[in-house]
Structure 1
Amino acid sequence: MERFKLSYLKSFKERADTQLEDIVSTIKGAEESVRESYSETISLDSDDFVKMILLDASFIIEYFWKNKTLNWTDEDREILEPWLCNRMQMDFILLENQLPFFIIEKIYDIAFPSLSKNNSFIGLTFRQFEYYNVQISQYSPLTKILHFTDLVRNFCMPPS
């Protein structure tokens, strides 16, 4: 999976409207807030932590984008068997796999400023998890999403 994530980082970097250094700088600037989002202390040093966030966030962004646009490569088709796609969908909402939503959204907005106006990351995320949206929830700027598991929880809550 790490090789696959690196491949997605490469495609993310090629599609991005900004330099990777700007995205790394953004993650470094938010590192304290990102670390505070976890209940347990993460023992990675700063560089390894930033690399982990960049790799995981770019993978999520690229996967969600490819899923929306159906722009799959031959490599994607080789690796992404239907059972693996289902497994990944479940992994996205495992509590131990959660990245703070705000950092993925921030990376997306910096990497794709023109795209984020009409295709926001929250829109991609709602589409990715629409199966769980049993209340047919619509995004509201008042909705605070902590991570994907929190979004799915919101989808299942009855309207106020």
Structure 2
Amino acid sequence: MNISRQIAGYLKSRELVLASLETGTAGAITAALADLPGAATSLDIGVVAHTPRALAGYLGTTATNEAVSETLARSVAEALLKEREGRANVVLASIGWLEPEDGGRAAIAHFFAWAGWDRGAVVSTSETVLSSGRRVDIRRSIARRALLGLPRFVDSIPARERAG
């Protein structure tokens, strides 16, 4: 079973609807799910920002010189979740800019964040991944990592409830 089908089934089985914001992957994360039959039941919106300027100011991230970081990714994910309330109940943000290729290879520091609701409050988590290689391989790896992070994040919410 491929990752897209696995995650689509996961979202559907838990009645989750995803909203996403991507930068360096050019929409690959959302496209991976959108290509599947019945995707509309699990997808709300996919936003792609191709430049730091396009990302600046989106959903309350007003500082144009704000460093790309886990903090920014979480801020964007949480803001998108609030904006899509009633339409999406889980969000992923995938933020990072591919450096120019050198000898057919590129490098990236990429920041992921996932956000959702827990007893009426927004909860989120994030992680950083460093990658290098061919652009197409990096994009595929980032999309895979972002999608696989969804069940990890969602499944961690009940554990927070028990710990709280």
- State the TM-score, normalized to the length of structure 2: 0.29
Could you say which structure has the greater relative contact order, defined with CA pairs below 8 angstroms and 6 or more residues apart? 1
